[in-house]
Structure 1
């Protein structure tokens, strides 16, 4: 009897949750203007029979871009379908099983609502290559399971919230490039504890990368890709003691950020493949450590700085290494 009651409750509440997901997606659909061949609107229709999660993802199998598991929607992926419309993302706020929301490469617009923080299961959020605008809500920090965040190539215009970002312990990739975000880049870096890929390029971030060592104790062990190029930074490059904190750095791009001063020794970055600091106020002797065989460099750009050098003027880069030097060497 108890077993029968369990299955009855599972069917009732599971079906209710599934029905909520259908209702949420149908409401979400109202904001879509299909510019293609009715790829989405034609398939997203109310179920004719009672919603059932039996059969794995068969619940909404006919709905393009939708995947279910156990009767609940776990993924909505509509990448590159030529879609547009003013989306009300708040309509998805109660989809508690949603793990993947990917709308990249369309022409969607709309705001990122505070209700996004209610998507407690979300691991992958990709809104890149659209026309989303407005501020980023602080409740983004409520997405404790988030692993991948891509808001690049949109029209977001706000300070990027740093309060609570440290709670995103699972965040491995954050891509904010080509928006109009502002704020202190150093403060944000200090909060990204476990990120491996960080791209803040082409924004209006200010501040300095010359941080205290204890601010980078966690991220230094994790980050492999860091691009802060084309921002409005100030101050100097990483200090000598900070260089050693980055254990696995493979790509560093600080081009056209406004930093100045002298470069420290970076020969301890054994994994570094791309090093770009063009268009800044760096000066002093060109770092000959970049020539050491112990480094794995394949691309170096030191152009449009104030470096001076004698021995590099006759040096020819080795096979596979592309290097851009200042136009005038002294």
Structure 2
């Protein structure tokens, strides 16, 4: 597990929202690249702990997105809001020489941030990003009808202990795909104290709002040709229209890397959409490659 002595929790005010973040090895800032991690819907900054545990000492920042983890903010109406917030976050912290690593929603958000801050980003690692086939975006009204509510809104939100949450999810998909420590991290850092117990750090209504909004991200397709830096796209087992809504399948457009000026496609059909928690060492290896770091650490 990453050394807690190198870990610092900070906060950055962006408009009405406070974005919380976890910074490691701040003493290494400016000595090499800075790794900027962004998580998927419903997760948090500490979900990257197991990936980072395989990396050498390097300056890194893991952000809690709007309404997730220890960040503030309620339900939102467009994924562009999150991209704008993280773009301003980069500027406010003066981050540069960035290697941006984004999973799922976080991949879309950091793609937006790269478009808005091209001078700050040296390379981009997209881990099964929710940047979908243009044909799927064209079916927006059919696949995400207006006024519908996502089932995540009905999630159990209160727990008596971290262990209760671990026990609840251990044998449920997709959490059953996680390594035991990744599941522990998800639960331990995904709960906040409340009167009488613990509650989800990402409220179900925030998670549900995000899950209803992937179609609002279609605009990113118009900006892919503006991304000059190297981009590696990691993809898992591909989703199609028949499997749309299966969270374990990859929503990533198979043609995404080809649509980027300097894109590389890495397809792993043996892995799910949740590959950072399923195989942290694999993702860490590609982080190290993107950042030109020394060999990753063994598990």
- Bigger relative contact order, structure 1 or 2, given CA contacts below 8 A and separation 6+? 2
Larger Rg: 1
* Same fold (TM > 0.5): no
- The normalised TM-score by structure 1 is 0.26
- The normalised TM-score by structure 2 is 0.28
More helix by share: 2
